[in-house]
Chain A
Amino acid sequence: MKVLCCVLALFVGGCAALGGKPSSGSGQEVCKEDQEKMARVGEKVKGKIVWSSSRVGNHDIFIMNADGSEKTALTKGEHVDWFPRFSPDGSTVMFCRSKKGWVYERDANMNFKWDVFTMDTAGGNQKKVAENACWGTWIGEKKIMFSRKTQVFTKDLESGEETLLADSQKVEPLGGADLQQPQMSPDGKFLGITLRGSMRETGIFDLEKKSWVQTGEGCQINWHPAGGRIYWVNPSGNGGSEVFSVEVKDGKPVKDYDYEEMRFVDIPSRISHEYFPQMSVDAKWLVWAATQRGHDHDIADYEIHIWEIGTDPENCTRLTFHSGNDRWPDIFIPGAVKAQ
């Protein structure tokens, strides 16, 4: 019994010492094939990608060219900075910042642990734009949307006025669920939302009718820039996740899709646990992060990828090569025409 107690104490002590924070990790060598693929991306698109990385400690926001070159940190410090999103004109980046040191992403819906900030693309002019809020996205040049647990708000950045847009506690079909990562449709009529807490699904919320249509059981639902399609992550496929996409009309999928019909991206390689998909405004490029092992969004060794939509997904290009955690990329392409 004494031996067992000693083993138990050593196990608990040792594990506690290792803690739950992500590893800062280290850089990895980029093979020639990957270098060539990155160069080919650079020839096709001149854009910027922002993402959140743990490579210098608690997560900071980084920026790089769309071909993976010139990686630069935009923020630094003990706070967790994540979920960066380019403003429509690409001049500003909005992101979520933890109020205190290390906070897990699984606490993303505990809004009192987060604030939403903006900064320019050089990391300057950092400004808190929403208190006790998370999942900030742009819905106009000077207008943002964010989530506070069961509520979604919009905020006019010039007037500072906040408006309650949706409240799951007042809409019966939403059952008081946490409204995670709300995304407004391009026509402004619908919200794509991942429900967590008392419910667990993705779906579309009709802002006028206050009605809810479930679209899937995964997470991270988002809109095609032209509207008319949604995409989200489903926990199935190679590596345990894949990106689904279906056509929608009037806030509903146009038909009952078969499993295979919904598959949008599922890379056949070993690094195929895809999450955080985000489409460029011209709908020509998709960025995401994927890992081979593990799942935890903010701890596992996710790597940023980019894919020219319509080409063979197997030819997607890996842009980061670091054993730290890289997550939630967004892409901005100057001069890109919004998809219609």
Chain B
Amino acid sequence: MVRFLKKLPAVLVIGLMGVALYPLLDRHLAAEDAQEQIGRARERTAVFGDSWVVADEWLLATRDRGLAAWGNIGGCGVSGAATSSGGVKWVGRGVTGGLVDVQCILSQTGFAGDGAMQSTFSTRLGTSIGYKWMVAATVPFRYNVEDVQNQFGIDVGEVHLPGFGDISLEGTRKLGITNAHTVTLSLTVPVGSHDAVRRGVVLPQRMQLGTGVMSVAGVYEYTRDFDWGPMIIGGNVFYSGWENSIKERGNDFRGSGASGYVYAGYMIGPFVPSIGLNLTAKVTSDREDNFALAGQPMVMVSPTVAVEWSIDWLAILLSASTQFSIFEGSDALFGGAGDWKAVFELETWTVGLGVQTSIF
């Protein structure tokens, strides 16, 4: 049992990748299936001397493999919403048509091992500028809870830290005649505190509400909606390579990296259940108090499941995800990734509840 549990993340990753690639396989199988049936119809025609029309009727009657749900839709272009906020990816129809798109996500992230919790209520306001541009701002309110130790390693108890986190601003350019491609530039402005002190202790980096420095990210996404359901394939490159300043102790620094992801949804009436997989790799280690954190995850994989329900003016999303480290760094001082070690460890879990509407 224990051996199986150790292999569970790998099984999960392989399974999700299989599901993500299923539409391509399904199309191939459907084509083969159709060819086979045409072949049988021809044989039947040869034997019974029926006309092609009769053979076609038979073919039609016996063809029961359904195509993808979205493949049969009467329309009509990319309509899947795909935004990220509060660690939750929104996959589904979303809501459009108002002057201001509003998305609120309440999420809770738990850290494996030490019981630390982060709750985030993020509000994302976005609007379109013309046909091809979108801008948005995301304001998170965070509430972090963790048992903290002082510089001598003595437990000072549970610390609570509420407040606004760093604000994210983004501009998106839609590309292609059906706007299936998007390129987004995101800038995070350091609004949240990065040097908060509780019980005489400068809180560790992950307990802080902000980073204290700006960070930038470039995102590319491609939305396909004719294989299976809305499928979002994308990636981003993020740079957080500025060191913040903390007077009471050494500075903090967050590593830069890149991620790639694929999410696939399926339409069942007003519901869009979806699954996704995100792979993130960092090229430099995080540093805290000027030292690289030992054993920090450098390559992470995050499987996600979610379900969206929507009507014209309201969409609700429930999401759950976990993050596993598959490589961790060690002994990297003052930058660099150090030596990587292959692991499979649960790092965090996140559940989220989102509401989306489009007002005015």
Contacts and interface: CB of A to CB of B under 8 A. Distances in A.
B312 A219 contact: no
B96 interface: yes
Interface string B267-285: 1011100000000000000
B34 to A, nearest CB: 5
Interface in A158-183: 162, 164, 167, 169-170, 175-176, 178, 180
B96 A240 contact: yes
B76 A275 contact: yes
A218 B178 contact: yes
A312 interface: no
Interface residues of B, number: 49
Given A299-B312, A300-B312, A236 B177 contact: yes
Nearest to B130: A238
B351 A106 contact: no
A76 interface: no
A214 B67 CA distance: 21
Interface string A103-114: 011111111000
A66 B258 CA distance: 57
B56 interface: yes
A111 B64 CA distance: 12
B64 to A, nearest CB: 9
B182 to A, nearest CB: 13
Contact of B71 (A196, A235, A299): A196
Contacts of B74: 105-106, 108, 180, 219, 297
Contact of A240 (B67, B72, B77, B269): B77
Interface in B92-117: 93, 95-98
Interface string B331-355: 0000000000000000000010100
Given A20-B270, A217-B178, A233 B67 contact: no
A322 interface: no
A15 B271 contact: yes
Q: Is the interface of B mostly helix, strand, loop or mixed?
A: loop
Interface stretch (A46-54, A67-75, A286-294, A313-321): A286-294
B131 A236 contact: yes
B55 to A, nearest CB: 10
A284 interface: no
Given A106-B74, A151-B56, A293 B96 contact: yes
A239 interface: yes
Interface in A271-310: 273, 275, 291-297, 299-301
Contacts of B316: 11, 15
Contacts of A128: none
A234 B75 CA distance: 9
A9 to B, nearest CB: 11
A118 interface: no
Contacts of A292: 97-98
Contact of B318 (A11, A259, A291, A296): A11
B75 A295 contact: yes
A4 interface: yes
Contacts of B358: 293
Nearest to B69: A106
B21 interface: no
A8 B358 CA distance: 24
B178 A234 contact: yes
A149 B269 CA distance: 21
A143 interface: no
Contacts of A275: 75-76
B60 interface: yes
A8 B320 CA distance: 11
Contact of B76 (A4, A241, A301): A241
B353 A198 contact: no
Contacts of B66: 110
B90 interface: no
Nearest to A200: B226
B290 interface: no
- Nearest first, the 6 closest Cβ-Cβ pairs linking A and B are A235-B77, A20-B269, A293-B97, A294-B312, A106-B73, A15-B309
Given A109-B72, A218-B76, A236-B179, 13 more contacts: A18-B270, A18-B311, A106-B69, A108-B74, A111-B60, A162-B53, A164-B52, A200-B71, A233-B75, A235-B178, A275-B75, A292-B97, A299-B312
23 contacts: A7-B318, A11-B316, A20-B270, A106-B69, A106-B74, A107-B72, A111-B60, A167-B56, A169-B38, A169-B59, A170-B38, A197-B71, A219-B74, A233-B76, A234-B177, A235-B77, A235-B79, A293-B97, A294-B313, A295-B76, A295-B96, A297-B74, A297-B75
Interface of A: 4, 7-8, 11-12, 15, 18-20, 104-111, 148-151, 162, 164, 167, 169-170, 175-176, 178, 180, 196-198, 200, 216-219, 233-241, 259, 270, 273, 275, 291-297, 299-301
